[in-house]
Amino acid sequence: MDVKDVLKKVRKIEIKTRRLSDHVFSGEYHSSFKGRGMTFSEVRAYQFGDDVRNIDWNVTAKTNSPHVKVFEEERELTMMLAVDVSGSEFFGTGDTSKRDVITEICATLAFSAMGNNDKIGLMLFSDKVELFIPPAKGRMHVLRIIRELIEFEPKNRLTDIGAAMEYLFGVMKKKAIVFLVSDFINAGYADALKIISRKHDMTGIRVYDPAEENLPDVGMVLMRNDETGRYVWANTSSRAVKQEYYQQYDRRVAYFEDTFRHSGAGTISTSTNDDYAKKLLGYFKNR
């Protein structure tokens, strides 16, 4: 894809997702994540009715008169988009791939955060961190994020969500709203997610293709693992093959949902055929 095509696609995604974020998510996003905490503002003289627990004893001792610490609600938030760019994200049986939907979801979230004057950052990962863009503000910054989501070509095709979470925990010092966007086809990230969820507001967004949920009956098919590159013949008409396939799928979904729930994190699941805007809006309203 040349530069002109990339810019055209960026503009197309901006028009679509910004309309969603402006008209649908502007209020819901802010009300869902406002009030992340209280930050210190100033010290002033004690007034009748002040909470005695806020007395600053050091200043009180120096001035010989009671003073209290004043706190204000932390308005500015930081959003971090942690996005899986492994080989399986390029899969798609319809008009769009999982990565196309992931890009639109992330763009919608980014414009929602921008409308709230928040910082937005991006981390792309496979079985290692492929790209890290520190949180910043502004339209040009959001457009850069969208451009990377569209054209970035990962060096590796495997997935390691746990390693990505460990990296993010190390670089993000302040509390952030983190959206972890992936198809979550691998496991083994429970411990890392539990640790990072203690520090950040975590939400897992699982994007999947309908064919992953319902194996089509098309007889003998040569299947390719998008992450390992290996091919295998499978009889999609076989009851035993279908049963094993569905069991593996159900285990992955159960692991995703159980792991996030036990970590106190939220979850959203959407297929490439679903209206992801409704899924996001429903999630924000139910928080």
Tell me the residue range of the domain where 240 lies. 3-32+76-286
Judgement on whether residues 160 and 264 belong to the same structural domain of the protein: yes
pLDDT in tens, 125-164: 999 999 999 999 999 999 999 999 999 999 999 999 999 9
Judgement on whether residues 168 and 229 belong to the same structural domain of the protein: yes
Flag whether pLDDT at 98 surpasses 80: yes
The average pLDDT across 84-112 equals 92
Judgement on whether residues 53 and 122 belong to the same structural domain of the protein: no
Residues of the chain above pLDDT 90, percent? 55
Flag whether pLDDT at 34 surpasses 90: no
What CATH number does residue 238 fall under? 3.40.50.410
Name beta bridge partners: 71: 40
The span from the CA of 101 to the CA of 273, in Å, is 9
Q: How many CB atoms lie within 10 A of CB 176?
A: 22
Judgement on whether residues 97 and 226 belong to the same structural domain of the protein: yes
Q: Which amino acid is at 197?
A: S
Judgement on whether residues 135 and 254 belong to the same structural domain of the protein: yes
Question: What's the pLDDT band for 8 if we cut at 50, 70, 90?
Answer: confident
Judgement on whether residues 241 and 273 belong to the same structural domain of the protein: yes
Token pair, residue 278, equals 């409704």
Judgement on whether residues 143 and 266 belong to the same structural domain of the protein: yes
Judgement on whether residues 134 and 215 belong to the same structural domain of the protein: yes
Confidence at residue 10, expressed as pLDDT on a 0 to 100 scale: 82
Confidence at residue 26, expressed as pLDDT on a 0 to 100 scale: 62
Confidence at residue 9, expressed as pLDDT on a 0 to 100 scale: 80
> 3-state DSSP call for residue 272?
coil
pLDDT in tens, 180-206: 999 999 899 999 999 999 999 999 999
Flag whether pLDDT at 56 surpasses 70: yes
Token pair, residue 60, equals 């009180």
Confidence at residue 76, expressed as pLDDT on a 0 to 100 scale: 73
The average pLDDT across 203-215 equals 93
> 3-state DSSP call for residue 41?
strand
The span from the CA of 256 to the CA of 267, in Å, is 8
> Ramachandran region of residue 222, left (φ > 0), alpha (ψ -120 to 50) or beta?
beta
Confidence at residue 40, expressed as pLDDT on a 0 to 100 scale: 61
Q: Which amino acid is at 176?
A: A
Judgement on whether residues 47 and 163 belong to the same structural domain of the protein: no
As for how many domains the chain has, the answer is: 2
Confirm whether pTM is higher than 0.85: no
Name beta bridge partners: 79: 120, 177
